[in-house]
Amino acid sequence: MKKKLIIIAVLLFVMSNIMFNFASCSEAKTLTAEVLPVKGGRSGIVTIVHDDGDLPSARFMLKEFEEKGLCGTFAMIADKVVSKDGVPTANAAEWQSIVRTGYFDIANHTQSHTWYGFGDEGESGTYIKKDGTVIEYEYEPGHMTDEIVGAAERMREIFSDQKILCYVIPGFTNAQGYEGRTPEAIKIIEDNFISQRNTGGAGDFDGTKVDCLNNISDIDFSSLNCMMVNASDDYRTRWFEYVDNIIEYQGWGIYCFHNIWETEVPSGHNVAQSKASELFEYIADKSDSGELWCATLTEGTLYTKEYNNASLDMTVSGKQIELTLKDRLNDEIYDMPLTVRVDVFKNWDKAVFEYDGKTETVNVRIAEDGSRYILVDMVPDRGTAVIKEG
């Protein structure tokens, strides 16, 4: 009798193992992994940019960002911090201390924010400023390259921890009868910077045009759309709706601020601190709730470009998951970790994640349908990640 029971017990044990293995085999087939379009699995990306480089505005933004836990980008006219001859301005030290806080990165907005010519060979001509003044210009060969590339090189000397990878297109007065960037300018910019932000535009979301928004899966890195805020805006509608659109359409929204004044502003691109502060509060709320990722222009560019070039391979052998994440980009520049969502086995509560020489224990999350997954950060092209039960 005892022997029979033992045999049955052994049989049951064997059967349960077989069934368990079947279960895990079929489960293994359904396990998937994907790179998420926004860091941390958030809905959208928001970037706050201040154009040109106005010190009182920067002081205000620093105070706001420290209080609210935000970050942003200064699209800096190099002349504000360093001359064409490489001499730091009187304000350079304060700019350095603001940037060193870590709340901001720097984008290049040219040396002088004035028309840099049709090409690089040297030329002369005229342009008419908005106030009607006719400006005669004469440029030496290499002037265009110096305005675009030289400016960034000099700012890297001033801001030693800044790579200055992004370019913000200046809205200067072009030569008479000409609008926009010449092919020669575009070539110089594209050879030296990873993205260019424009001053408007609309993203296409499956046939729906959404003002000022970028579709993360279909980004034009040579002309990132942005929302330029105006004093005359019905700001609680226009500025706040932009945040809502970022979340609803799962896009990347970029605000373009010029000067932010203490007092009310009647018209133009400068706006009042009180209004900006209300918007920053709204962004901080959505960021704290996990809906928005607040990123600098550099972070947003790196993440979305890597995401659009990423390929992910997953293999499951036994109870071990292996992932290989690659992109086709220069690893010296593109080193931003991407968030990867990985399904794990049903009985896991924790997972051990080994990648890039590091091992960490990750909490398993439970999706609405009861399936289990983890979120991990992976810099592309760092080998194979191994995931086991923790």
Tell me which residues touch Zn ion (CB under 5 A). Answer: 51-52, 170
**Closer Cβ to Zn ion, 51 or 299, answer by number:** 51
CB neighbourhood size of 118 (10 A): 17
**Minimum gap (Å) between residue 329 Cβ and Zn ion:** 28
The residue whose Cβ lies closest to Zn ion is 51
Geometric angle at alpha carbon 167, from 137 and 104, rounded to 5°? 125
Give the long-range contacts of residues 317-321, CB within 8 A, separation 24 or more. Answer: 319/24, 319/345, 319/388, 319/389, 320/386, 320/387, 320/388, 321/31, 321/33, 321/386, 321/387, 321/388
**Minimum gap (Å) between residue 257 Cβ and Zn ion:** 11
**Closer Cβ to Zn ion, 167 or 307, answer by number:** 167
**Minimum gap (Å) between residue 274 Cβ and Zn ion:** 23
For residue 229, give the DSSP letter: P
CB neighbourhood size of 29 (10 A): 9
**Structure token pair of residue 187:** 């070539």
**Minimum gap (Å) between residue 212 Cβ and Zn ion:** 17
Phi, psi of 318 (to 5 degrees): 60, -125
CB neighbourhood size of 15 (10 A): 10
**Minimum gap (Å) between residue 178 Cβ and Zn ion:** 18
**Minimum gap (Å) between residue 302 Cβ and Zn ion:** 23
**Closer Cβ to Zn ion, 265 or 321, answer by number:** 265
**Closer Cβ to Zn ion, 54 or 327, answer by number:** 54
**Closer Cβ to Zn ion, 198 or 296, answer by number:** 198
**Closer Cβ to Zn ion, 192 or 199, answer by number:** 199
**Distance from chain centroid for Cα 292:** 12
